[in-house]
A and B are shown apart, each in its own frame.
Chain A
């Protein structure tokens, strides 16, 4: 078990290394010139060249990549020979000249918002998705099942920016049920936090809930046809134990897998929802960085997001083994 974890962690590190290299190469062959973007209106070719040299963008791609990797472990200093060098201490994910800030700090600033958004939505969609999915499975073929699944399909089909705009228009602007969203950490203003987050949570959750409802229903229907469910009934167990314990436990495995990966993906930022509700999370950071061709930030976000997903993969596999005793890690 522990040797399994060690092996998995090592392969994760290798994967991250490869991934960062790919991201690096991809951005280096883009037609946009990061050095051109570093200087403002009064730009001359000389300034651009000077900046290119200052940022190390005149080096070959692999050397740039090497500098980046070194920075991760020992930190790095930009423009070392200039009068005001920029120090980026380890682990240095890079430095955004556009924003004049270390990438790691930018990501750290955005992360709490994104984590709160993701976790809140996660709770909503898991509770709604699983309970409605189980309900639909038990009532299979009835009008209740069809209603639940139909509403789910609508939720799944509507784009979140559409639902989001509708919600903002009606709930916030027209009916004044909630104040305009403005991010505030929960420890500073819990009420304001909830008022801001409730709509993003629900809207983000609708999409996922619809998917999880379908997944849960299909899983439950499959499991309810298993021989061991008939055995559970033959033992005389009440139906709620048969469903809530025997069937749900067996049906949960693929749901846990999907949930872990979806949550990790969301921790990389929900671009549309964050932009719509002006939440200063990773998603907002990512979209502005892409617009600005702010390469170091994009590389940083890509790596952090990939790390979340890879770690979630490991956690999901461990959970899988904890749920299903037949699964052997190794």
Chain B
């Protein structure tokens, strides 16, 4: 069933839409990306851009009765979309795992941490309770929780946010999954703790040779940990490239807008941030053309009503750089150079 050329995680043309009373909500449309073991892919975008829905679709966490899912999601040679709910369930927590944004609410408040971890062990491994508990304590130690043996007997509310996120990571990695999806794992944490958590994920990734999909809106984190970046907007993938191309040679106006809206300490030239004007589109009433067109300051360069009326295709620029834009290549390169030159102080 698996062919040797297929990537470890291979998402092809993933589309997720939710029928609601207000109409069909197109949360994710035609998203494709792939990632190998040991690599980190960052999915970047604003709230509502479809990044979390994509992640949950990969995990098979979206209720198929409530949503229409199409496309292919190959994990380790198996297509999640085509599999039965129960088969996907068996992969969750063993072959693929997920950590969530808010460690405060993601652990069950009524069960001890050790019990929640050993439960994760015993769903997927035929081991005794004592064995599972020992694995849990061992894993808690490996994610840097001091005195793991006694911490295993505490309840989540007795731990700090950073410690809870460590527990979540321990729980996600306890069955050595080969795919880890981290959905804004540091957003709810203090900045000082953020770095520790990211380092922890990176070191465990090396140890287990895990493929990591990191969902974030923090470009600083992306620059630190990602190998490849997928930029999402309005449920679509608008640009995909390796991390250097995104930071130095991004071509999609939205990506460039994201890069320009990052606050910088080393520049005194402008006293204001440069945010993208306007708001993200409503997933019910997407613009008929390019979903970013209403906020794009370059669409007048295309001419006619192409940007308003026609959905742009995902264009391939080089081996791993894709962009969805109606601007012609010379124009994109010019804009890119202009913006990144300012951003990187002439370093690009």
Contacts and interface: CB of A to CB of B under 8 A. Distances in A.
Interface of A: 226-228, 230-239, 246, 249-250, 323-326
A171 B59 CA distance: 55
Contacts of B61: 230, 233-234
Given A235-B171, A238-B89, A324 B109 contact: yes
A67 B343 CA distance: 91
B100 interface: yes
Nearest to A326: B157
B66 to A, nearest CB: 9
Interface stretch (B91-99, B127-135, B311-319): B91-99
Contacts of B123: 235-238
Contacts of B92: 233-236
Contacts of A238: 86, 89, 123
Contacts of B97: 234
A325 B97 CA distance: 27
A250 B91 contact: no
Interface string B17-54: 00000000000000000000000000000000000000
Contacts of A239: 89
Interface residues of B, number: 28
Contacts of A226: 105
Interface string B79-93: 000000010011111
Given A228-B107, A231-B100, A324-B109, A236 B94 contact: yes
A77 B12 CA distance: 92
Contacts of B100: 227, 230-231, 234
A90 B218 CA distance: 75
Given A228-B108, A231-B107, A236-B91, A326 B155 contact: yes
B143 to A, nearest CB: 16
B110 A323 contact: yes
A141 to B, nearest CB: 9
Nearest to B181: A234
Contacts of B102: 227
Nearest 3 interchain pairs by C-beta? A236-B93, A236-B92, A227-B105
B93 A235 contact: yes
Interface string B109-148: 1100000000110011000000000000000000000000
Contact of B109 (A230, A237, A250): A250
B155 A325 contact: yes
Contacts of A234: 59, 61, 92-93, 97-98, 100, 172
A323 B155 CA distance: 12
B57 interface: no
B175 to A, nearest CB: 8
B246 interface: no
B168 interface: yes
B182 to A, nearest CB: 12
Nearest to A229: B108
B93 A325 contact: no
Contacts of B120: 235-236
A228 B106 contact: yes
Given A234-B59, A236-B123, A326-B155, A227 B106 contact: yes
A246 B109 CA distance: 10
A227 B168 CA distance: 12
The listed residue with most A CB atoms (<10 A of its CB), out of B94, B109, B124, B171, is: B109
19 contacts: A227-B106, A228-B105, A228-B108, A231-B168, A234-B93, A234-B172, A235-B123, A236-B89, A236-B90, A236-B92, A236-B120, A236-B124, A238-B86, A238-B89, A246-B108, A249-B110, A250-B109, A325-B110, A325-B155
A263 to B, nearest CB: 23
B54 to A, nearest CB: 15
A250 B156 CA distance: 14
A222 to B, nearest CB: 13
A325 B109 contact: yes
Interface in B224-281: none
Contacts of B168: 231
Interface string B286-319: 0000000000000000000000000000000000
B109 A228 contact: yes
Given A235-B92, A236-B93, 8 more contacts: A226-B105, A227-B100, A231-B100, A231-B168, A234-B61, A236-B123, A237-B123, A238-B89
A191 B171 CA distance: 54
Contacts of A231: 100, 106-108, 168, 171
The listed residue with most B CB atoms (<10 A of its CB), out of A226, A233, A236, A250, is: A236
A326 B110 CA distance: 8
Contacts of A237: 89, 93, 119, 123
A236 B174 CA distance: 12
Contacts of A233: 61, 89, 92
A234 B106 CA distance: 11
Contacts of A249: 110
A237 B86 CA distance: 10
Nearest to B94: A236
